[in-house]
Chain A
Amino acid sequence: MYKTFKPKENVHTPFLFFTGKGGVGKTSTACATAVALADQGGKVLLVSTDPASNLQDVFNVELTSEPVEIPSVKNLFASNIDPEEAARVYREKTIDPYRNKLPDSVVNQMEEQLSGACTVEIAAFDEFSHLLADDNILNQYDHVLFDTAPTGHTLRLLSLPTAWTGFLDEGTHGASCLGPLSGLGDKRDMYRKAVQSLSDREKTTLMLIARPEESSLIEANRASQELRNIGVQNQMLVINGLLQSHMQDDKVSIAFYERQQYALNKLPEELKQLKTLSLPYVSYSLTGIDNLRKLVSNNPFVETKEVSNNTEPIQLSKLNDLVDDFTSRNTRVIFTMGKGGVGKTSIASAIAVGLTEKGQKVHLTTTDPAAHLDYIFKDNDKKENLTISSVNPEKEVEKYKQEVLEQAGKDQDEEGLAYLKEDLESPCTEEIAVFRAFAEVVEKSENEIVVIDTAPTGHTLLLLDSTEAYHKEMSRSTGDIPESVKKLLPRLRNPEETDVVIVTLAEATPVIEAARLQEDLKRAQIDPKWWVINQSLYGTDTKDPVLNGRAVAEKQWIKKVKEELSDRCALIPWMKEEKIGYHNLKEMINA
């Protein structure tokens, strides 16, 4: 069995990166590690780079990009790199001096241009690399911990230093996408040092966090390889939420335990080479400093009182009710959104299957670079009315490049093409390419129902935000704008065409984040109608003390979703096995 992860014994480098599929407990593990290292006397900085950060929920402190001391933990400092915020600060700094010197229409145009994906990415990267490259940081802190964004996003964030260093070297003409940060060339040394720190095993450890679940471990393996390929060699695997024992006469308890053991038996070969530790499944929620300390202490368990689950049960809809509702309202575009790891992909797949069963023509797709639709439908007997695709950033970039070269490059000679190609190498090409693919897939809703499993929260917001930014920019471009792009935002805002399903677990962090997401969506004039509570132990009859403790703790969050947050709410009980394949997904609808 795996030894328990103890920060005091297992942390040997100043920089630690926590990565893993959304919802595996990166933030909790990073926070528990930070608190333990600080308690031991080291000075610790904990940095979140997730646009939808929830560090502030854990410590109950407002965070900014400047480190602030956590009042209740001596030696612990925390900060939050919010890419949107970093871009806003940069924008103000650039535009402010010109506000009264240039007419409003001109200032507005500058503002719009500096609101694009490029600026956001550059600003975030700038803050991030500063921490890795500045020697003063390591004079000030013994450890710097990065609680990074869910995997797809993390990979991009972490691979930026290499991509960008290359990009800076290859740029041959002055004007390019790096324009928004004038004088970026001066920072070349800083970026180079950032890359060096990342690949130095004395300096950086990559902490791969995974749940004892097959898909989570596959994802950890993918991340491990991808990061090893860009030079991050020093890696450690932490299996989070491992159930230590089970009750012999409790079906749910046995199934829960066996499901975990089964997944661990199938641990990918490459991961077996890594140093692997575990953290136990506990009944308490991992918010608040006392609970974090307890998790990595010598006795992580609490006494649980026997509590009955059955007092005044909460009545909730089934997934089937949701499918019926969409059918009767003839909804054309359906999104699933929520924190990473809550099961958006499974729910989107189940909804797609449900609608197909009603005789509808359905297209299911994902914009999450880390999603696994292929895996869910791997043994699928082909259904005529259900098609599946995924918006893969790398492929979309290639497709977009081809398209541009064909269109704009048709009157160009060899050298002209080379010139165009160079601009296409810029980092923001990906944002545009993904965006256009997204618009294209939404357009399919003219002929069939489109179910979209979106990327995790923060990334989704960036995507929606760029929808708006592009919408504005279109009004002054003379270029050729695809019809699909023009129609996108009006379509997303039309409740008769589009619906958003918010997916959550009955736990503090996913619910708080989902509520925040709902507010953001409402500001963008998109009003989610349904919430789905997934994998609920409350929906089972387990008597296992740890699992039952969790089930009881779920109740307050289920109530909050039902009574305060949602119009309509469905609950799916925890299930014995991951739902893979068309027929298994069908079961989920009626569960």
Chain B
Amino acid sequence: MNKLKIFDPAMCCSTGVCGPGVDPDLTRIASAVYSLEKRGVDVTRYNLANDPSEFIENEKVNHLLNEKGADVLPVTILNGEIVKESSYPSNEELSSWLQIDTSELKDKPQTRVEIDINL
């Protein structure tokens, strides 16, 4: 079973809409990750701002950070090996690593119906 980990730089939200400008690459990777999860791939994202401990505990990432600094993020690890650094994997790369067709990487999460809280 494949195991994919993505170590994000420190950021506010995973789609990047909170930044000074929207980064379309962040929206793409958010969708791709969601699609992978839906197809049962074990995939986890770690945001430096929320989960800094993961960036210490993972030796490979920690080593890379100490060697090259923060610019090395985002880092992608597939089954314990670093497969990509300094940018997010493309849909084609994800597709070939995980044997999933690129057309299947464009799912979007369902949003829930709004809940009205009565106080």
Contacts and interface: CB of A to CB of B under 8 A. Distances in A.
A419 B50 contact: no
B11 A113 contact: yes
Contacts of A248: none
Contacts of B65: 102-103, 106
B116 to A, nearest CB: 8
B91 to A, nearest CB: 12
B47 A419 contact: no
B49 A180 contact: yes
A591 interface: no
Nearest to A428: B18
A418 B111 contact: yes
Main SS at interface, chain A: helix
A231 B119 contact: yes
Contact of B48 (A109, A480, A482): A109
Nearest to B50: A179
Contacts of B108: 412-413, 415-416, 418-419
Contact of B23 (A170, A192, A479): A479
Nearest to A172: B112
A479 B21 contact: yes
Interface in A414-463: 415-416, 418-424, 426, 428-429, 432, 435-436
A481 B119 CA distance: 41
A274 to B, nearest CB: 23
Contacts of A479: 16, 19-24, 26
Nearest to A481: B21
Interface residues of A, number: 66
A245 to B, nearest CB: 47
Contacts of A413: 106, 108
B85 to A, nearest CB: 14
A422 B110 CA distance: 10
Interface stretch (B66-74, B76-84, B96-104): B66-74
B30 A419 contact: yes
Interface string A26-69: 00000000000000000000000000000000000000000000
B33 to A, nearest CB: 10
A176 interface: yes
Given A103-B69, A105-B69, A106-B65, A172 B111 contact: yes
A110 interface: yes
B73 to A, nearest CB: 8
B114 interface: yes
Interface stretch (A294-302, A385-393, A470-478): A470-478
Nearest to A432: B18
Nearest to B113: A170
Contacts of B25: 478
B110 to A, nearest CB: 7
Given A199-B119, A478-B23, A103 B17 contact: no
A420 B15 contact: yes
Interface in B1-60: 9-27, 30-31, 34, 45, 47-53, 55-56
Interface in A95-121: 95, 97-98, 101-103, 105-106, 108-110, 112-114, 116, 118
Given A404-B17, A419-B111, 13 more contacts: A103-B65, A106-B48, A172-B109, A175-B45, A180-B49, A231-B119, A411-B24, A412-B27, A413-B106, A423-B17, A474-B20, A479-B16, A479-B24
| A-B residue pairs, 10 tightest by C-beta | A415-B108, A479-B21, A479-B23, A113-B10, A175-B14, A105-B69, A105-B70, A416-B108, A418-B111, A408-B22
Interface of B: 9-27, 30-31, 34, 45, 47-53, 55-56, 62, 65-66, 69-71, 73, 106-112, 114-115, 117, 119
Interface of A: 94-95, 97-98, 101-103, 105-106, 108-110, 112-114, 116, 118, 165-166, 169-170, 172-173, 175-177, 179-180, 182, 192, 195-196, 199, 231, 404, 407-408, 411-413, 415-416, 418-424, 426, 428-429, 432, 435-436, 470, 473-474, 476-482, 485
